[in-house]
Amino acid sequence: MIEHAFRGNKRYWSWLVFLSLIILTGFYFYMRQFNYGLGITGMSRNVSWGLYIAQFTFMVGVAASAVMVVLPYYLHDYKAFGKITILGEFLAISSVIMCMIFVFVDLGQPFRLLNLMLYPTPHSLLFWDVIALSGYLLLNVVITRVTLDAEHKSTAPPKWIRVVIIVSIPWAVSIHTVTAFLLSGLAGRPFWLTAIMAPRFLASAFSAGPALLVVLCLVMKKLTDFDAGDEALKKLGLIITYAMCVNVFFILMEFFTTFYSGIPSDVSHMQYLYFGFEGKGKLVPWMWASVALAVVSLVLLIVPKTRENHRTFFVACITVFLSIWIDKGLGLVITGFIPSPFGKVVQYWPTIPESLITLGVWAIGFFLITIFYKMVLSIRMESEA
Amino acid sequence: MSISRRTLLKLVGLTALGVTAEKYVSVHAGSTSAKLVAKAIGAGKRLAGTKPAQKVRLAMVVDLRKCVSEQGCTKCIDACNKAHNIPDFGESKDEIKWIWKEPYQDAFLDQENFYMKDEFKNKKVPVFCNSCDNPPCVEVCPTQATFKRDDGIVMIDWHRCIGCRYCMAACPYGSRSFNWRDPRPFIKDINPDFPTRMKGVVEKCTWCDERVSQGLSPICVDVCPGKALVFGNLNDPGSEVRQLLKDNFSIRRKPGLGTSPEIYYLV
């Protein structure tokens, strides 16, 4: 099957070369980080997690979102998702791998990574996150491998794979729940200490993930013979709409509880994020951009006409994705540290090497997606021919 | 249902034990009810007092009335920095600190009071690792590189730490520092009796475990000119720390979080 990834037209190859260049740039700066230490990033004693962990958090959501196509297709036998389910699963694989790389590049002593396995520590949520993520990766590798193989041979997939698929559904929910617990279980960080962290993560995941899938499908429709099908896209549109509504609702819940209760330690973080605190507010314009994008996306999604028109639907999906990326891949993790436990505002902004390393990991993700989707499309074309 | 004399005696004994344990919890721990609930649902892995009280529970008392840090005294900080090979980068981003001073209202953020005595308003409070009895850093560490000793000191194994910095996110006191870069070139004169650290690991005050193991007090306690710092065994009713806490009003940093910090400030 993998041989299909090695055959492609000029556009395919130039895209891969382009991504490889970004990956190599990222790798070069990672080597610099490796030699100098994490001081090469914008992180500091006060803001000790930054862009890497924020990207990790965001990508876990994209990974978990595969369940939004897997569940209707396998549990409800929703045939329209037949063409895109495996794309969702490959998106999950690529995202989980990105998650793992983001955690890896964030480690101060990466060569000691195996200490996680040598000294398993069940009272640490990070231990459970490692289990959840690697299990999810394994499940999806097995599922895609077996189902794609069956498609390749034009046979029905073996019966046992259904069990694996059913297991993967709650497992997808678990990866994002455990990741939320990683943050929401800390008594000393009031910004994260909220019981709706996990539900909020799931809602944002189930809107941003399928939105990315739609974008990928529409791009493929433009560039290749692949067509996800109108019904599938319509259904994804509904899923994204509901999930985005719930996501925005949850954010408003946080606003209410924080500002109405008025507990200073809680208010200070939200205030920093959306309005600025003590005259400092590096994230403020970003967050209002996120709000604006969310509003635009909701209008485009809720109005049936714009949701069902591919061009406006495409824009809607991009705005959903960007809005949530700013909220989760930038604001959420960093603001947990601002202000500090002493009430001081020490701001954070990623450095150029840090941003290029991050971009490199994203490029790895796109590289994987490209070759996975190429494989799927070629195999489908072959069996159709 | 008949209960034999023997069973009855056993039950009475167990109940007495239970009551003692609960008393210990309520005296010792921060949020008692939460802990009792946690105990009931069996989540009591880090409950103070659920196991028989250990013989030694080290603690520190800081007498803020005697501390003159606002007058520029940095004796404890200087001695600590020198003893523990703490680098000086000359900037705050990469900064490593084990003891430092914070304004009173920042150290006790949840004690907001505009009309407090001027003496305390301007006070600089020495802060260090609280070696909590329920240390959240120990709970979140995925490799057990940070752990609590039997005498209560919270330690870090610098050879095991993977540098994930989860402990820094978990510590409500901002007590932990990370080696963002190689610290060795920035140590003024290296103390050969204490290890230096490498880049990529977390560190913090360990109440001079190396001195405590030799029966000495932490160096900050020894060098304090005003004798404002007192160190000792909280579980020994005759110890100086216990006497001070008995005779004076003391506060702790963020006790409401249930971490049970073991540094007591006399105000």
Q: What confidence tens digit (pLDDT) does each residue in B122-140 have? A: 889 999 999 999 999 999 9
State the smallest CA–CA distance between residue A169 and chain B in angstroms: 26
From chain B, pick out residues whose CB is under 8 angstroms from the CB of A124: 139-142, 166
CA atoms within 13 A on the CB side of A274: 15
Q: What confidence tens digit (pLDDT) does each residue in A288-323 have? A: 999 999 999 999 999 999 999 999 999 999 999 999
Q: What confidence tens digit (pLDDT) does each residue in A156-209 have? A: 999 999 999 999 999 999 999 999 999 999 999 999 999 999 999 999 999 999
Q: Is the dihedral of CA A42, A178, B140, A252 positive or negative?
A: positive
Is residue A264 within 8 A of residue A245, CB to CB? The reply is: no
**Which tokens sit at B200?**
């990529």
Roughly what angle, to the nearest 10 degrees, separates helices A51-64 and A197-223? Answer: 70
Q: How confident is the model at residue B36 (pLDDT cuts 50, 70, 90)?
A: very low
The predicted structure's pLDDT at residue A46: 96
- At A237, which amino acid appears? G
Question: What share of chain A in percent tops pLDDT 70?
Answer: 100
3-state SS of A241-273? HHHHHHHHHHHHHHHHHHHHHCCHHHHHHHHHH
CA atoms within 13 A on the CB side of B176: 28
Instruction: Give Cβ neighbours of residue A203 (< 8 Å, ≥ 6 apart).
Output: A243, A244, A246, A247, A249, A250
Q: Is the pLDDT of residue B17 over 90?
A: no
Which of B108, B127, B177, B180 is the best mutation test for A, with the most CBs of A within 10 A?
B180
Q: Give φ, ψ of A230 to 5 degrees.
A: -65, -40
B113 touches chain A (CB under 8 A): no
Is residue B62 within 8 A of residue B126, CB to CB? The reply is: yes
What is the spatial distance between Cα A207 and Cα A236, in angstroms, rounded to a whole number? 9
B168 touches chain A (CB under 8 A): yes
Which of A56, A104, A121 is the best mutation test for B, with the most CBs of B within 10 A?
A121
State the smallest CA–CA distance between residue A315 and chain B in angstroms: 37
Q: Hey, what domains does chain A have and what are their CATH numbers?
A: 2-384 (1.20.1630.10)
B125 touches chain A (CB under 8 A): no
The predicted structure's pLDDT at residue B69: 82
Q: What confidence tens digit (pLDDT) does each residue in B195-222 have? A: 999 999 999 999 999 999 999 999 999 9
Q: Is the pLDDT of residue B4 over 80?
A: no
From chain B, pick out residues whose CB is under 8 angstroms from the CB of A34: none
What is the spatial distance between Cα B198 and Cα B193, in angstroms, rounded to a whole number? 16
Q: Quick check: A130 and B179 CB within 8 A? A: no
Q: How confident is the model at residue A210 (pLDDT cuts 50, 70, 90)?
A: very high
The predicted structure's pLDDT at residue B155: 97
The chain A residue lying nearest B45, using CA atoms, is: A123
B85 touches chain A (CB under 8 A): no
Q: Quick check: A188 and B201 CB within 8 A? A: no
The predicted structure's pLDDT at residue A93: 97
CA dihedral (A362, A364, A365, A369) in degrees, to 10, reads 140
The chain B residue lying nearest A337, using CA atoms, is: B169
pLDDT average, residue stretch A236-246: 97
Q: What confidence tens digit (pLDDT) does each residue in A114-125 have? A: 999 999 999 999
Residues in chain A: 385
Using CB atoms, pick whichever of B109, B202, B259 lies closest to residue A343: B109
Q: Quick check: B169 and A337 CB within 8 A? A: yes
Using CB atoms, pick whichever of A118, A189, A342 lies closest to residue B169: A189
What is the spatial distance between Cα B259 and Cα A374, in angstroms, rounded to a whole number? 53
From chain A, pick out residues whose CB is under 8 angstroms from the CB of B158: none
Using CB atoms, pick whichever of B92, B107, B140 lies closest to residue A126: B140
B161 touches chain A (CB under 8 A): yes
The predicted structure's pLDDT at residue B37: 47
Which of B140, B161, B164 is the best mutation test for A, with the most CBs of A within 10 A?
B164
Q: Is B103 helix (H, G, I), strand (E, B) or coil?
A: strand
The predicted structure's pLDDT at residue B77: 96
The predicted structure's pLDDT at residue B53: 61
> What's the pTM?
0.90
Q: Pick the closest to residue B156 from B123, B195, B185 (CA basis).
A: B195
- Helix (H) or strand (E) run with residue A55 in it: helix A51-64
Q: What confidence tens digit (pLDDT) does each residue in A92-101 have? A: 999 999 999 9
What is the spatial distance between Cα B52 and Cα B43, in angstroms, rounded to a whole number? 17
The chain B residue lying nearest A119, using CA atoms, is: B143
Q: How confident is the model at residue A275 (pLDDT cuts 50, 70, 90)?
A: very high
Lowest mean pLDDT: which of A93-97, A125-129, A247-251, A381-385? Answer: A381-385
Q: Quick check: A109 and B95 CB within 8 A? A: no
Using CB atoms, pick whichever of B97, B201, B254 lies closest to residue A108: B201
User: Of chain B residues 238-257, which have a CB less than 8 A from chain A?
Assistant: 254, 257
Q: What confidence tens digit (pLDDT) does each residue in B58-87 have? A: 999 999 999 998 788 999 999 999 999 999
The predicted structure's pLDDT at residue A299: 98
From chain A, pick out residues whose CB is under 8 angstroms from the CB of B96: 45
* Maximal C-alpha separation, chain B: 76
Q: Is the pLDDT of residue B9 over 60?
A: no
The chain A residue lying nearest B181, using CA atoms, is: A37
Q: Mean pLDDT over all residues of chain B?
A: 85
Q: Is the pLDDT of residue A366 over 50?
A: yes
Strands B229-233 and B58-63, bridge-based pairing: antiparallel
pLDDT average, residue stretch B180-189: 96
B91 touches chain A (CB under 8 A): no
pLDDT average, residue stretch B232-261: 95
CA atoms within 13 A on the CB side of A267: 7
From chain B, pick out residues whose CB is under 8 angstroms from the CB of A337: 169
From chain A, pick out residues whose CB is under 8 angstroms from the CB of B164: 103, 106-108, 126
With vertex at residue B252, the alpha carbon angle to CA B145 and CA B21, rounded to the nearest 5 degrees, is 75
The predicted structure's pLDDT at residue A383: 78
What is the spatial distance between Cα A118 and Cα A113, in angstroms, rounded to a whole number? 9
From chain B, pick out residues whose CB is under 8 angstroms from the CB of A110: 162
- At A74, which amino acid appears? Y
From chain B, pick out residues whose CB is under 8 angstroms from the CB of A126: 140, 142, 164, 166
Q: Hey, what domains does chain B have and what are their CATH numbers?
A: 1-53 (no CATH), 54-266 (3.30.70.20)
B3 touches chain A (CB under 8 A): no
Q: Is the dihedral of CA A165, A167, A172, A175 positive or negative?
A: negative
Q: Mean pLDDT over all residues of chain A?
A: 95
3-state SS of B19-58? HHHHHHHHHHCCCHHHHHHHHHCCCHHHCCCCCCCCCCCE
pLDDT average, residue stretch A139-145: 96
B179 touches chain A (CB under 8 A): yes
**Which tokens sit at B182?**
């190689």
Q: Quick check: A119 and B144 CB within 8 A? A: yes
